[in-house]
Structure 1
Amino acid sequence: MRYGTLDWVPALDRPDLLAAPVTEALASWAQAAPDAVRQVLVAEIDPDQADTADMTATYDLPLEASANCVLVAGKRTGEERIAAAVVRATTRADVNSAVKKLLDVRKASFLPMDRAVADSQMEYGGITPIGLPAGYRVLLDTRTSAGPAIIGSGIRGSKILLPGEVLAELPGAEIVAGLATEIAA
């Protein structure tokens, strides 16, 4: 399938374009929801163009189709709570209010890059909600649950494309209204 200037193929046909935890999660998910996983596509990109603004411009993709995944952590009574917040590229995760409230912590902050990479076993700039460690909550802004969604593949050298409706079916995903705020133009 062609979207933008990229050719997209079924993700499980190209495990070389996925981080190992992503491949494992998709294979497991395929056992329970084969029709959903068949709609998860991957395309190879230049790793130097993996950042959202560069990727959308380089490959003629609509910015509103891109979804960013950020890892956020906080503590409550000594217990660390971590979540992935997935929001459209035209929005910003509301870490200081919505995510903090959902995690039920006093302060929420982005997981440090080295920790995010080590824990997820994914490359920074390619972290995706698919295949995150057990115990991580996956929070999806309602705007990501409809229409095409371009997300990371776990590596910087490719991207995943799937319908937002399929993203919303990701095991453990929580659809959250108000998870993100619009970015002022």
Structure 2
Amino acid sequence: MTDDQPRPHPDPHLPFGNFSQVRSALEAADTLAAPVAEALRTWESREAAESVRYVDTDPGKADTAVFSESYAVPLEASANCVVVAARRGGETTLAACLALAHTRVDVNRTVRKHLGARKASFADMDTAVSRTGMEYGGITPLGLPADWPLLVDAAVVAAPYVLVGSGSRRGKLILPGKAIAQLPYVEVLEGLATAAG
């Protein structure tokens, strides 16, 4: 954004960030990845579904650090969703992990032990994209495959509001941390993530 362009003003209905377009995620279904829109539509907790806001953003600024600076969103209010492949014997289990952006998911210990795996690592990009139906850099906890564990760090749920992906690199979702705990197949874990550094 150049100096001569007007900066978007903070939306009074949002807890953080400067976004030019904000609307209910339920009303933005046409802009969301298909599994995300379907998850919102069928979410058993209607109150949780109605609490989700969609903010339109530049897909070229989707990466966490750039996004945080561009849209005035603290890292402590952003949560990243990563896909993990856990292997035991000849079987591989895929799971999703959600942690605040200033922390790092403890894949080698916490995730591996929780999933009862011999080895755990981040899934490769092609697997993450093909299995979620979402764009890399926009993967979100809403709309993940029904047979995947969704491991969420307790700090995410404790946050008043968090920003997560929308299923694509364009746009983000903002919702109360407690709403994430109401997603299907969620498991809230203490110590899932550790301080990044």
Q: TM-score, normalised by structure 1?
A: 0.95
**1:99 corresponds to:** 111
SS in 2 for 1:53: helix
Aligned match of 2:54 in 31, 36, 42?
Answer: 42
Deviation string, structure 1 residues 69-109 (Cα, Å, up to 9, x no partner): 10001222322211101000010000000000111111101
| Equivalent residues in 2 for 1:71-150, closer than 5 Å | 71-146=83-158, 147-150=160-163
Q: State the distance in 1 between where 2:30 and 2:93 align.
A: 31
- State the one-letter code of the partner of 2:180: L
Q: Which runs of 5+ in 1 are unaligned?
A: none
Match of 2:37 among 1, 15, 23: 23
Contact 1:43 1:159 in 2 (8 A): yes
Return structure 1 stretches of 4+ with deviation > 4 angstroms. none
CA RMSD after TM alignment:
1.1
Higher mean alpha-carbon deviation, 74-83 vs 38-47, is at 74-83
Which is greater in Rg? 2
Match of 1:67 in 2: 79
Higher strand share: 1
**Which amino acid is the alignment partner of residue 105 of structure 1?**
A
Counterpart AA for 1:127: I
Identity, % of aligned positions: 48
For 1:134 and 1:170, the matched residues in 2 are separated by 11
Residue identity matched to 1:103: L
Q: Distance in 2 between matches of 1:138 and 1:63?
A: 21
1:33 corresponds to: 45
Aligned mates of 2:131, 2:81 — CA distance in 1: 14
The answer on whether the counterparts of 1:17 and 1:42 sit within 8 Å (CA) in structure 2 is: no
Number of aligned residues: 182
- CA–CA separation in structure 2 for the residues paired with 1:74 and 1:62: 31
Q: What secondary structure sits across from 2:42 in the alignment? A: helix
The correspondence of residues 136-175 of structure 1 with structure 2, limited to 5 A, is: 136-146=148-158, 147-175=160-188
Q: Which runs of 5+ in 2 are unaligned?
A: 1-12
Structure 1 residue matching 2:191: 3-state secondary structure: coil
Q: Which moved more, 1:3-12 or 1:129-138?
A: 3-12
1:14 is paired with a residue of what secondary structure?
Answer: helix
Which structure would you say has the larger RCO, counting Cα contacts within 8 Å and 6 or more residues apart? 1
The separation in 1 between residues aligned to 2:146 and 2:186, in whole angstroms, is 12
